[in-house]
Structure 1
Amino acid sequence: MKKHRGAGHRGGRGNAGTGKRADQKKPSIWGDPDYFGKHGFVSKSRAPKISAINLRTIDESLPIWAAAGLVNQNNGVFSVDLTNVGYNKLLGSGALHKKCAITVDFSSEQAIRRCVSLGSTVTVRYPRQEKQTKEKQTNESKAKESAKLARQATQEAEE
């Protein structure tokens, strides 16, 4: 075995030995307050966990679900509540060959279009809401608005 392999010859293990000798230039990690320890936190995600299923998979699974009693069949139409089966989002890959009335929390637009075109219906519990964009006000419009408010305030004060 070689003579100079040990941790004692190399100043210790890991970050040990960073200040063991006096009057030396200290290592850069001493000046970095973020080098050691954990910092901050990761906030809990508020987004729901998505468990998605395709139309093709639904079409293949309908007989199995019907046999298990997870799906009802009335007048040739399968009533499927995907939350009972363990899914909360419907995706549009594949096709349905049986008429279905599907109830689901979330759905893609393509899945809804395909289901409707094949004679099935989709009920979405939480339909997608378009984000409202704030209109940017120019400085001129802000100035006009503040002047208008000032005029109204003076008129009210006079009355």
Structure 2
Amino acid sequence: MVRRFKRAVKYRRGSRTHGWGRVGQHRKSGGSGGKGMVGFHKHKWSLVMKYGESGTGWPFYGKHGFKQPPTITVEWRPINVGTLAEVVRELKSEGKIREEGGKYVVNLLELGYNKLLGGGSIDVPVIVYTPVASRTAVEKIQRAGGEVRLVAIHR
């Protein structure tokens, strides 16, 4: 392919600074006031005033956020009411849930879930044991003739 411009390396040979002015202006960190976050309380304070939050200097200063210890965090594995309605008969045939008095009894912890959400619709009466359930999920299951029983998570 035809190149329609000269490379700066070629036509600036012998010019010592290749268009960067005084010797050293395009070398290491001297011309930019230091590497990285250096000087934000000194000669780069105007950057903090311009781009940082007023009063705190964020994101240039201070500790940001809080990291919860993994021992107290819970990894949520949710399931929607609609998904539960779709798979409840399959789970019964596989023997993973049981039936009592015309209602399916589902323990979400045994199935690998720990939260019940209200997405979708359900027309099957189920009794669901779960640690956490949303308000809409509880309402939909009660309208279908079932109930939600909250259980504690043992760690």
- Give TM-score, length-normalised by structure 1: 0.55
Counterpart selection for 2:107 from 71, 81, 86:
81
Deviation at 1:17, TM superposition (A): 3.1
Once residues 77 and 47 of structure 1 are traced to their aligned partners in structure 2, the CA distance between those partners, rounded to angstroms, is 33
For structure 2, the 5+ residue unaligned runs are 1-6, 13-17, 43-56
Matched with 2:74 is 48
Contact 2:85 2:122 in 1 (8 A): yes
Deviations along 1:16-47, whole A, 9 cap, x unmatched? 3359xxxxxx55933538999x9677321655
5 Å matches for 1:114-153? 114-125=140-151
Once residues 44 and 103 of structure 1 are traced to their aligned partners in structure 2, the CA distance between those partners, rounded to angstroms, is 28
**Partner AA of 2:41 in structure 1:** D
Matched with 1:32 is 41
Contact 2:25 2:31 in 1 (8 A): no
Between 1:75-84 and 1:63-72, the stretch displaced more is 63-72
Deviation at 1:86, TM superposition (A): 1.9
Deviation at 1:114, TM superposition (A): 1.8
**Partner AA of 2:130 in structure 1:** V
**Partner AA of 2:30 in structure 1:** G
For structure 1, the 5+ residue unaligned runs are 20-25, 127-159
Aligned-residue Cα RMSD (Å) equals: 3.6
Deviation at 1:5, TM superposition (A): 8.1
Aligned length: 116
Once residues 79 and 103 of structure 1 are traced to their aligned partners in structure 2, the CA distance between those partners, rounded to angstroms, is 8
The sequence identity of aligned pairs, in percent, is 21
C-alpha distance 101-10 of structure 1, shift in aligned 2 (>3 A): same
- Give TM-score, length-normalised by structure 2: 0.57
Deviations along 1:103-132, whole A, 9 cap, x unmatched? 001111222122112110110125xxxxxx
The reply on whether 1:17 has 2:30 as its aligned counterpart is yes
